[in-house]
Amino acid sequence: MIRNAFRRFKHHRRLARALAETATRPDKPGRPHGLPSELVVSLTSHAARFPTLAPTLRALLRQSVQPDQVILWLDEGDEERLPAEIHAMAGLDIRTCPNWRSYKKIVPTLLACPGAHVVTADDDLYYPADWLEQLVSAAHQGATVGCLRAHRIVMASPERPAAYEAWQHNIAVAQAGADVFPTGVSGVIYAPGVFHPDVTREDLFTRLAPSADDVWLYWMHRMKGSQPRKIGGRARILEWDGSQVVNLRAGNRQGRGNDRAIAALTDHYGWPV
């Protein structure tokens, strides 16, 4: 009990520091990104997350490197339920799209901005001021898929991975290769043209991987020959209090949603070597 109380205390102290740090960032554009195409930060949210969405958006809009667009995708009608402070945020593009669940953070942007570097973000986290700069730096160094958090895939046989829970989670060293599995929670940058053409096919991703967008996206860029690059050391996730009432990650792990998606995609496409 004492240990849990101390953990909660440390968590609340980290949250307070994160909010204070975000509030002190310069309210002006960051440096140019220097990429050869448009740079778009893309995320989605839903009404249950709206009470804790503003600090995430402030962190994304005040980065040391300036994106060309920050797009927030919502279900039709949800834009009317957003707090007024979010509508007032300069530089935020609020759009609506079909209810594709977690796929809303990337599929509509791929359709709307096909030639862009796309960076995905989650709606419930603190993002440091140099978060985007780190991802852009990876792209400048040749990464077509770069991420700050990744797992290492463990294979049960040459063409079949072990169960998702048996993989090496949140790897602690920078590396690149086919066995690096980016996790979207900490952000991923995707270069133009990195995905298989099926990536935006609603009939396939809603059937084969309905709640496992990380798995779907891994297949889609690996089938085009990507070598995903993990940046830096072990990633730490800092979630806002109250943001985890609805959470897909637990179901995908303990509920084996990722394993079901992996099996379905392997049956449909084969292992993406």
pLDDT of residue 27: 87
Domain layout of the chain by residue ranges = 27-269
Cα(247)–Cα(269) distance, integer angstroms: 28
Which pLDDT band, with edges at 50, 70 and 90, does 22 fall under? Answer: very high
Cα(152)–Cα(114) distance, integer angstroms: 29
Cα(241)–Cα(261) distance, integer angstroms: 30
Helix, strand, coil percentages, rounded to 5, for the chain: 40, 20, 40
Q: Domain 27-269 sits in which CATH superfamily?
A: Spore Coat Polysaccharide Biosynthesis Protein SpsA; Chain A (3.90.550.10)
Which pLDDT band, with edges at 50, 70 and 90, does 252 fall under? Answer: very low
Which pLDDT band, with edges at 50, 70 and 90, does 9 fall under? Answer: confident
Cα(171)–Cα(227) distance, integer angstroms: 16
**Tens-digit pLDDT profile for residues 130-175:** 999 999 999 999 999 999 999 999 999 988 999 999 999 999 999 9
pLDDT of residue 251: 45
